């Protein structure tokens, strides 16, 4: 905001602001040889609100291609999802890996 002093009055002049959209982050699941397929499907349903069919497609993509995308979120939400997935997998003794990366 620019302030202009004018004969004792204060006039506030609007200033153009250039706002950038906050960066978004992709949450990715990585393949491994040990986490059961059914468990990965449950994770995708539980934390990424996918129905069973979509969750199965994503799980199979990760299984075949090594990696797959669970969704795109703001930084805080992506980071919470990664923590939740890893914590849930460790509670069940599975080595499932989940990471986030900036969505350019
Ligand atoms: N490759 C695992 C298996 O054959 C299944 C799997 C899928 C594991 C996706 C991790 O993110 C993953 N049991």
* Residue 13 pLDDT grade (very low, low, confident, very high; cuts 50, 70, 90): confident
Contact 67, 101 (CB under 8 A): no
Ligand 1 centroid distance, CA of 98 (Å): 12
Output the six-digit token pair for 9. Answer: 């009055």
Instruction: Give the helix/strand (H/E) hosting 61.
Output: helix 52-65
Closest Cα to atom 11 of ligand 1:
31
69: buried, middle or exposed (CB in 10 Å: 19+, 13-18, 0-12)?
Answer: middle
pTM for the full model? 0.85
Ligand 1 proximity of 63 Cβ (cutoff 6 Å) = yes
Residue found by looking up tokens 């890996």 in the block: 97
- Convert the pLDDT of each residue in 63-80 to its tens digit: 999 999 999 999 999 999
């Amino acid at each position: 905001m620019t302030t202009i002093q004018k004969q004792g009055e204060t006039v506030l002049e609007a200033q153009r602001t250039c706002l950038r959209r906050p960066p978004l982050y992709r949450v990715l699941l990585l393949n491994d040889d040990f986490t059961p397929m059914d468990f990965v499907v449950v994770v995708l349903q539980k934390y990424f609100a996918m129905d069973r069919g979509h969750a199965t497609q994503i799980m199979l993509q990760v299984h075949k291609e090594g990696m797959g995308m669970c969704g795109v979120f703001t930084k805080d939400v992506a980071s919470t999802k990664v923590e939740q997935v890893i914590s849930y997998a460790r509670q069940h003794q599975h080595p499932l890996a989940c990471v986030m990366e900036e969505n350019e």
